[in-house]
Structure 1
Protein backbone atom coordinates (compact mmCIF):
# COMPACT_ATOMS: atom_id res chain seq x y z
CA UNK A 1 0.00 0.00 0.00
CA UNK A 2 1.19 3.52 -0.78
CA UNK A 3 0.37 6.40 1.57
CA UNK A 4 1.30 10.04 1.15
CA UNK A 5 2.03 11.86 4.42
CA UNK A 6 1.17 15.55 4.37
CA UNK A 7 1.10 18.35 6.89
CA UNK A 8 -1.53 21.05 6.98
CA UNK A 9 -1.72 23.39 4.00
CA UNK A 10 -1.76 27.15 4.52
CA UNK A 11 -3.96 28.16 1.60
CA UNK A 12 -7.55 27.16 0.88
CA UNK A 13 -6.91 26.07 -2.71
CA UNK A 14 -4.37 23.47 -1.60
CA UNK A 15 -6.65 22.35 1.24
CA UNK A 16 -9.47 21.75 -1.25
CA UNK A 17 -7.17 19.84 -3.62
CA UNK A 18 -6.04 17.60 -0.76
CA UNK A 19 -9.66 16.83 0.15
CA UNK A 20 -10.47 15.94 -3.48
CA UNK A 21 -7.37 13.73 -3.72
CA UNK A 22 -8.22 11.96 -0.47
CA UNK A 23 -11.81 11.26 -1.54
CA UNK A 24 -10.66 9.97 -4.92
CA UNK A 25 -7.73 7.75 -3.89
CA UNK A 26 -7.92 7.35 -0.09
CA UNK A 27 -4.13 7.49 0.14
CA UNK A 28 -3.39 10.61 2.19
CA UNK A 29 -2.38 10.76 5.83
CA UNK A 30 -2.53 14.33 7.05
CA UNK A 31 -1.00 15.24 10.40
CA UNK A 32 -1.59 18.38 12.45
CA UNK A 33 1.59 20.43 11.87
CA UNK A 34 2.15 22.78 8.94
CA UNK A 35 3.80 21.01 6.00
CA UNK A 36 7.27 22.56 5.93
CA UNK A 37 10.90 21.52 5.73
CA UNK A 38 11.35 22.28 9.43
CA UNK A 39 8.60 19.80 10.29
CA UNK A 40 10.00 16.82 8.35
CA UNK A 41 10.79 14.96 11.57
CA UNK A 42 7.16 15.29 12.69
CA UNK A 43 6.05 14.16 9.25
CA UNK A 44 8.22 11.03 9.40
CA UNK A 45 7.06 10.21 12.93
CA UNK A 46 3.41 10.69 11.95
CA UNK A 47 3.90 8.19 9.14
CA UNK A 48 5.62 5.66 11.40
CA UNK A 49 2.91 6.03 14.04
CA UNK A 50 0.23 5.43 11.39
CA UNK A 51 2.04 2.30 10.20
CA UNK A 52 2.33 1.05 13.77
CA UNK A 53 -1.40 1.67 14.39
CA UNK A 54 -2.87 0.45 11.10
CA UNK A 55 -0.31 -1.92 9.57
CA UNK A 56 1.20 -3.77 12.53
CA UNK A 57 1.75 -6.92 10.48
CA UNK A 58 3.50 -5.23 7.55
CA UNK A 59 6.81 -7.03 7.09
CA UNK A 60 8.53 -3.91 5.73
CA UNK A 61 7.96 -0.18 5.44
CA UNK A 62 9.87 2.13 3.11
CA UNK A 63 9.85 5.90 3.61
CA UNK A 64 10.66 7.47 0.26
CA UNK A 65 10.64 11.13 -0.75
CA UNK A 66 10.04 12.63 -4.17
CA UNK A 67 13.76 13.28 -4.58
CA UNK A 68 14.76 9.65 -3.98
CA UNK A 69 15.07 6.90 -6.56
CA UNK A 70 14.55 3.31 -5.48
CA UNK A 71 15.28 0.15 -7.41
CA UNK A 72 12.47 -2.10 -6.10
CA UNK A 73 14.29 -5.27 -7.14
CA UNK A 74 17.45 -4.37 -5.21
CA UNK A 75 15.38 -3.22 -2.24
CA UNK A 76 13.50 -6.51 -2.12
CA UNK A 77 16.74 -8.47 -2.39
CA UNK A 78 18.19 -6.47 0.51
CA UNK A 79 15.08 -6.86 2.65
CA UNK A 80 14.76 -10.59 2.12
CA UNK A 81 18.40 -11.35 2.87
CA UNK A 82 20.22 -9.00 5.19
CA UNK A 83 17.31 -7.53 7.12
CA UNK A 84 15.71 -10.90 7.69
CA UNK A 85 18.84 -12.05 9.49
CA UNK A 86 19.29 -8.86 11.50
CA UNK A 87 15.66 -8.35 12.51
CA UNK A 88 15.76 -11.43 14.71
CA UNK A 89 18.48 -9.78 16.79
CA UNK A 90 16.42 -6.68 17.59
CA UNK A 91 12.99 -7.49 18.93
CA UNK A 92 10.30 -5.95 21.08
CA UNK A 93 8.84 -7.98 23.95
CA UNK A 94 7.12 -11.04 22.54
CA UNK A 95 9.71 -11.46 19.80
CA UNK A 96 8.23 -8.85 17.46
CA UNK A 97 11.07 -7.68 15.21
CA UNK A 98 11.58 -3.93 14.91
CA UNK A 99 14.54 -2.61 13.01
CA UNK A 100 15.15 0.79 11.45
CA UNK A 101 17.78 1.06 8.72
CA UNK A 102 19.33 4.13 7.23
CA UNK A 103 22.66 5.19 5.84
CA UNK A 104 25.23 7.20 7.75
CA UNK A 105 27.12 9.55 5.49
CA UNK A 106 30.21 9.98 7.67
CA UNK A 107 31.87 12.18 5.06
CA UNK A 108 28.94 14.61 5.15
CA UNK A 109 29.25 18.09 6.57
CA UNK A 110 26.58 20.40 8.01
CA UNK A 111 24.93 22.72 5.53
CA UNK A 112 25.20 26.22 6.97
CA UNK A 113 23.44 28.04 4.12
CA UNK A 114 20.64 27.44 1.68
CA UNK A 115 17.42 25.48 1.61
CA UNK A 116 18.45 22.71 4.00
CA UNK A 117 19.54 24.83 6.96
CA UNK A 118 17.60 24.35 10.18
CA UNK A 119 18.48 26.95 12.77
CA UNK A 120 17.72 26.76 16.45
Structure 2
Protein backbone atom coordinates (compact mmCIF):
# COMPACT_ATOMS: atom_id res chain seq x y z
CA UNK A 1 0.00 0.00 0.00
CA UNK A 2 1.36 3.44 -0.95
CA UNK A 3 1.78 6.23 1.56
CA UNK A 4 -0.76 9.06 1.45
CA UNK A 5 -0.67 12.60 2.81
CA UNK A 6 -3.90 14.45 3.59
CA UNK A 7 -4.19 18.07 4.69
CA UNK A 8 -7.36 18.92 6.57
CA UNK A 9 -9.44 21.89 7.61
CA UNK A 10 -12.23 20.88 10.00
CA UNK A 11 -15.32 22.81 11.12
CA UNK A 12 -14.38 26.18 9.61
CA UNK A 13 -17.39 28.52 9.58
CA UNK A 14 -17.86 31.29 7.04
CA UNK A 15 -20.84 33.25 5.72
CA UNK A 16 -21.59 32.69 2.01
CA UNK A 17 -24.34 34.00 -0.27
CA UNK A 18 -26.23 30.82 -1.12
CA UNK A 19 -29.73 29.47 -1.41
CA UNK A 20 -32.78 29.45 -3.65
CA UNK A 21 -35.61 30.28 -1.25
CA UNK A 22 -36.61 33.87 -0.45
CA UNK A 23 -35.62 33.48 3.21
CA UNK A 24 -32.11 32.45 2.08
CA UNK A 25 -31.35 35.03 -0.58
CA UNK A 26 -30.25 38.59 -0.03
CA UNK A 27 -28.00 37.88 2.92
CA UNK A 28 -25.10 35.52 3.55
CA UNK A 29 -25.71 32.23 5.33
CA UNK A 30 -23.38 30.56 7.81
CA UNK A 31 -21.80 27.41 6.41
CA UNK A 32 -19.49 24.96 8.15
CA UNK A 33 -16.69 23.58 5.96
CA UNK A 34 -14.51 20.52 6.41
CA UNK A 35 -11.96 20.03 3.63
CA UNK A 36 -9.59 17.13 3.05
CA UNK A 37 -6.90 17.40 0.36
CA UNK A 38 -4.82 14.45 -0.83
CA UNK A 39 -1.35 15.46 -2.00
CA UNK A 40 1.14 13.58 -4.11
CA UNK A 41 3.40 12.28 -1.41
CA UNK A 42 7.12 12.69 -1.46
CA UNK A 43 9.46 10.06 -0.06
CA UNK A 44 10.28 11.45 3.39
CA UNK A 45 9.81 14.57 5.50
CA UNK A 46 12.89 15.50 7.46
CA UNK A 47 13.16 18.13 10.22
CA UNK A 48 14.53 20.68 7.73
CA UNK A 49 12.07 19.95 4.90
CA UNK A 50 10.92 23.33 3.48
CA UNK A 51 7.25 24.34 3.23
CA UNK A 52 7.41 24.07 -0.56
CA UNK A 53 7.54 20.26 -0.16
CA UNK A 54 4.01 20.32 1.27
CA UNK A 55 1.07 22.72 0.94
CA UNK A 56 0.24 25.70 3.08
CA UNK A 57 -2.74 24.78 5.27
CA UNK A 58 -4.06 28.34 4.98
CA UNK A 59 -4.79 27.67 1.28
CA UNK A 60 -7.64 25.41 2.41
CA UNK A 61 -9.13 28.17 4.55
CA UNK A 62 -8.74 30.70 1.72
CA UNK A 63 -10.60 28.42 -0.72
CA UNK A 64 -13.57 28.36 1.70
CA UNK A 65 -13.63 32.10 2.34
CA UNK A 66 -12.00 34.80 0.19
CA UNK A 67 -11.62 32.35 -2.71
CA UNK A 68 -15.41 32.16 -3.05
CA UNK A 69 -15.75 35.92 -3.52
CA UNK A 70 -19.08 37.71 -3.23
CA UNK A 71 -20.95 35.61 -5.81
CA UNK A 72 -24.34 34.11 -5.00
CA UNK A 73 -24.33 30.31 -5.28
CA UNK A 74 -27.81 28.82 -5.66
CA UNK A 75 -26.61 25.39 -4.49
CA UNK A 76 -24.03 24.47 -1.88
CA UNK A 77 -22.91 21.86 -4.41
CA UNK A 78 -21.66 24.79 -6.51
CA UNK A 79 -19.83 26.17 -3.46
CA UNK A 80 -18.11 22.81 -2.94
CA UNK A 81 -17.26 22.60 -6.64
CA UNK A 82 -15.64 26.04 -6.54
CA UNK A 83 -13.59 25.06 -3.47
CA UNK A 84 -12.34 21.94 -5.27
CA UNK A 85 -11.41 23.81 -8.45
CA UNK A 86 -9.63 26.53 -6.45
CA UNK A 87 -7.47 23.96 -4.69
CA UNK A 88 -6.69 22.10 -7.93
CA UNK A 89 -5.65 25.35 -9.61
CA UNK A 90 -3.46 26.41 -6.67
CA UNK A 91 -1.25 23.35 -6.68
CA UNK A 92 -0.59 20.61 -9.24
CA UNK A 93 0.25 18.18 -6.41
CA UNK A 94 -3.38 18.11 -5.23
CA UNK A 95 -4.76 14.74 -6.34
CA UNK A 96 -8.13 14.71 -4.61
CA UNK A 97 -10.33 17.13 -2.68
CA UNK A 98 -13.21 16.29 -0.35
CA UNK A 99 -15.46 19.14 0.77
CA UNK A 100 -18.17 18.73 3.39
CA UNK A 101 -20.56 21.66 3.83
CA UNK A 102 -23.19 21.95 6.55
CA UNK A 103 -25.91 24.62 6.29
CA UNK A 104 -26.04 25.90 9.85
CA UNK A 105 -29.17 28.04 9.35
CA UNK A 106 -31.25 24.91 8.61
CA UNK A 107 -30.41 23.17 11.87
CA UNK A 108 -33.27 23.01 14.36
CA UNK A 109 -32.02 20.38 16.78
CA UNK A 110 -28.25 20.39 16.25
CA UNK A 111 -28.52 18.06 13.24
CA UNK A 112 -26.11 18.52 10.35
CA UNK A 113 -27.77 19.13 6.99
CA UNK A 114 -25.49 19.41 4.01
CA UNK A 115 -23.41 17.67 1.37
CA UNK A 116 -20.04 16.05 0.82
CA UNK A 117 -18.36 16.28 -2.58
CA UNK A 118 -15.24 14.27 -3.41
CA UNK A 119 -13.43 15.12 -6.63
CA UNK A 120 -10.28 13.65 -8.13
CA UNK A 121 -8.01 15.61 -10.43
CA UNK A 122 -8.98 14.99 -14.04
Q: TM-score, structure 2 length as denominator?
A: 0.31
Looking at secondary structure, tell me which structure has more helix per residue. 1
Bigger Rg, structure 1 or 2: 1
Q: TM-score, structure 1 length as denominator?
A: 0.31
Looking at secondary structure, tell me which structure has more strand per residue. 2
